[in-house]
Amino acid sequence: MAMKQYLTAFVGSIILLGCSNTTPPPPEQFPDLPLTEAELLTPQWQELERITALYPVEDARAGNNGCATIEYVITPDYQLADIKIIDATSRHFALEAARAITRWSWSELAPGKLTEPVKTRTRFEFCLEHNEGDCEESRLQQERQCRGSDVILAVGHIVRGR
């Protein structure tokens, strides 16, 4: 009898595993588009309000610094496509960085900046300020754990309970 229960449980597990959600990511819309490094640092994008990423609570509690690089395509109508995490020191940093680019003020840009889609990437540096100067922009610009020269800083501050 125990063998029959074991076999039933085993077959049930196989069926459940076979039915799990294994949906592949959608195909890239612009797979052959070359990367334009630091596109958003050019003068045509200076009016784009780029809100920094939120510091992930999980990493703040753990005292973690880190980074994430997000690659994406901007279409001529300022829609984002093919958003990919290229580098990340934490999945929480990656998720917050990807969320941040979707919150930028794309819809407020004047039409006509682009006539063709452009692929670029942005690196987010996450730093917890323990002592003044820990998260100086010049130091964080030099970090090399994640790729990219277009850098957005997300600085967290340690808050001590009273």
What is the per-residue pLDDT across 127-141, written as a single tens digit (0 to 9) for each? Answer: 998 777 778 777 766
Residue 17: what pLDDT?
46
What is the per-residue pLDDT across 74-120, written as a single tens digit (0 to 9) for each? Answer: 999 999 999 999 999 999 999 999 999 999 999 999 999 899 999 99
**Identity of residue 58:** E
Q: Which residue has the tokens 């125990």?
A: 2
> What is the dihedral angle through the alpha carbons of 29, 33, 37, 40, rounded to the nearest 10 degrees?
-50
What is the per-residue pLDDT across 11-60, written as a single tens digit (0 to 9) for each? Answer: 344 444 444 456 666 788 999 999 999 999 999 999 999 999 999 999 99
**Identity of residue 139:** R
Structure tokens at 79: 């829609």
Distances (CA, A) of 88 to 14, 15, 97, 117, 148: 33, 34, 9, 25, 12
Q: How far apart are CA 30 and CA 50, in angstroms?
A: 23
**Residue boundaries of the structural domains of the chain:** 33-157
Structure tokens at 138: 């010049």
CATH class entry, domain 33-157: alpha beta
> What is the dihedral angle through the alpha carbons of 82, 88, 90, 94, rounded to the nearest 10 degrees?
-30
3-state secondary structure of 41: helix
3-state secondary structure of 119: strand
Q: How far apart are CA 44 and CA 39, in angstroms?
A: 9
